Chains A and B, each alone.
Chain A
Amino acid sequence: MKIDLLQMVESGGCSAKISPKQLEEILKYLPLPVDPNILVDIDTHDDAGVYRVNDDLALVLTTDFFPPVCSDPYEFGQIAASNSISDVYAMGGDPVLALNIMMFPASKLPMEAYAEILKGGFDKATEAGVRIIGGHTIDDYPPKYGLAVVGYIHPDKIITNAGSRPSDSLILTKPIGTAVILAGHRLGMVSENDLDEAKSMMKLLNKTGADVMKKHKIKGATDITGFGLAGHCLKMAKASKVSFTINMKEVPLIGNSYRLIDEGCIPGASFRNLEYAEKEIEFATDLDYNLKMLAFDAQTSGGLLFSAPSKKVNIILEDLFAAGLFNSKVIGLVTEPKEKFIYLVN
């Protein structure tokens, strides 16, 4: 029997995230633990938490899991693992250990699919140098998978959302459009080439990009996932108390995602992301509507977005290309705080 995980879900990957608006409402009522060893928590909307063990070592902790983004269980495992580990890379850490988190409908899917998902996750984790040392599964429909990851980091070398400075340039390391491509794929509107491109981008570890960030002592970064490019830019600009101008024409796109949006193929999550962020964003009056909606496209295992001193941009880009990240691009500039946090132009 050919297993098709996509038959089981309405929205997969990071599109399945709860609305950022709802999440913010709820988190308001949860007190943040106070401890001098907590170096990074959700206060700055960062990708992972960081806890100091001693002066030379801190732990980066993060977790992420979601429903299938593709038909093949092995590929789904690879993508989910790559996405889970990404938060550690975005903080400048080295991922070390992980636990599997799995929800699997044992009565609806052959156990072979379960094994394949775990195998995909294991192989991707191994590629990242991460040891999976346990996990937990419950019987649930539809399937969901991800990792809880622990990484090492030096307490003085943490890269956060709050590290972006005026006059920096913003570099993005992967093209965007995974949610449009996946939604279009379900409706038979996407070529095999475009689907393959989206899948290979989602499987690609952010390790190489993170190595370049560390080499150049980058201070501010995030990875682009469920809240979309604009949503994650907003979190970063807010935490850094600066404004970002993003030139949407410079943003690399996966395959024909522009054309898909133009045909109305806009996933529901894009509207959720738009609604959450739009009050704090100024849209240029001539901003192309399709590019605007792409800015809110929920990314699964998206690239790194980091803030780099503008005079170092060429050498950093050369390093990113040399690392195989051929889509890396300067997509915007950081300015002193202005009336809005984000300016989307084209």
Chain B
Amino acid sequence: MRTIDTKGQLCPAPLIAAKKALKETVAGETFIVITDNKTSFDNLCRFLKDNKADIKSSESGGVWTLTVTKSVNDLVQTNVEEYCDPSISHFQKGNFIVVVSSDKMGEGDDELGHLLMINFIKALKDLDKLPRKIVFYNNGVKLVTKSSPAIEHLRDLEKMGVELMLCATCVNFYCLDTVIGAGIVSNMFSIVDAMASSDKVLRP
């Protein structure tokens, strides 16, 4: 039987070894964890129970032996990917912001430029490190209206913890205040401050 000897190790090392074993074990299979630390033993018991494993334990001469059987149901949670659902806000952020000053990307045909901008916003979601904020001003604020083709992507980004800052003057100028579909309306100071305090500013 597989035996994990964690003698001489302190928490959380024994837990890490036990969790690894639990992940590599199929339901119904049994393995053994050994520890010589009472606190580690208590924590292992608690941790393994919380992870729905059956445990039996014995002690002799200051060494605890846990016989762990993985129960039929899988771990409470093993799948990190499953956790990364867009409704969850624990995405890594880089210290950069995106500034959107137009609803079009690049010079040339307007229709193409608009399409490119939507694609740009969509692609932001796939970055390993998300921007901390996206700032919208001038024509850029039109992307954040309820009927904008980018709005679903922007709402996703917001759920992923990216702040959307909309220039208040611009929203008022274009009379969009009743049709804004995401983000927070901000003043110019907040916008300048956001740009000044980030390492990088990305401009599509």
Which residues of chain A have a CB within 8 Å of any CB of chain B? 10, 183, 187, 189, 249-250, 252-253, 255-256, 258-259, 262-268, 271, 274, 288-290, 314, 317-318, 321-322, 324, 326, 329
Cβ-defined contact, B15 with A289, below 8 A: no
With A288-B83, A318-B190, A321-B163 known as contacts, the answer to whether A264 contacts B42 (CB < 8 A) is no
Total residue contacts A-B, CB cutoff 8 A: 82
Determine, out of B6-14, B66-74, B138-146, the stretch whose residues face the partner at the interface: B6-14
Docked CA distance A267–B46 (Å): 13
Docked CA distance A127–B17 (Å): 43
Known contacts A249-B87, A266-B15, A322-B190; 15 additional CB pairs below 8 A are A183-B12, A189-B16, A249-B90, A262-B19, A264-B16, A264-B17, A264-B18, A264-B20, A266-B11, A266-B43, A266-B47, A268-B40, A288-B83, A318-B184, A324-B197
Cβ-defined contact, A264 with B19, below 8 A: yes
Query: Using Cβ atoms and an 8 Å threshold, which residues of chain A touch B173?
Result: none
Query: Using Cβ atoms and an 8 Å threshold, which residues of chain A touch B90?
Result: 249, 252-253, 258
Query: Using Cβ atoms and an 8 Å threshold, which residues of chain A touch B15?
Result: 264-266
Query: Using Cβ atoms and an 8 Å threshold, which residues of chain A touch B77?
Result: 262, 288-290
Contact of A250 (CB < 8 Å), options: B17, B46, B89, B132: B89
Contact of A249 (CB < 8 Å), options: B43, B78, B89: B89
With A10-B10, A252-B89, A268-B11 known as contacts, the answer to whether A314 contacts B184 (CB < 8 A) is yes
Docked CA distance A288–B89 (Å): 14
Docked CA distance A329–B193 (Å): 19
Identity of the chain A residue whose Cβ is nearest the Cβ of B37 in the assembled complex: A268
Query: Using Cβ atoms and an 8 Å threshold, which residues of chain B touch A258?
Result: 80, 83, 90
Closest chain-B Cβ to A11's Cβ sits at a distance in Å of: 8
With A253-B90, A288-B83 known as contacts, the answer to whether A264 contacts B12 (CB < 8 A) is yes
Query: Using Cβ atoms and an 8 Å threshold, which residues of chain A touch B186?
Result: 318
Docked CA distance A255–B94 (Å): 10
Contact of A262 (CB < 8 Å), options: B80, B92, B161: B80
Closest chain-A Cβ to B92's Cβ sits at a distance in Å of: 7
Cβ-defined contact, A289 with B12, below 8 A: no
Closest chain-A Cβ to B113's Cβ sits at a distance in Å of: 31
Q: Answer whether residue B39 sits at the interface, using C-beta atoms and an 8 A cutoff.
A: yes
Cβ-defined contact, A267 with B11, below 8 A: yes
Cβ-defined contact, A255 with B92, below 8 A: yes
Query: Using Cβ atoms and an 8 Å threshold, which residues of chain A touch B40?
Result: 268
Cβ-defined contact, B16 with A265, below 8 A: yes
Query: Using Cβ atoms and an 8 Å threshold, which residues of chain A touch B42?
Result: 271
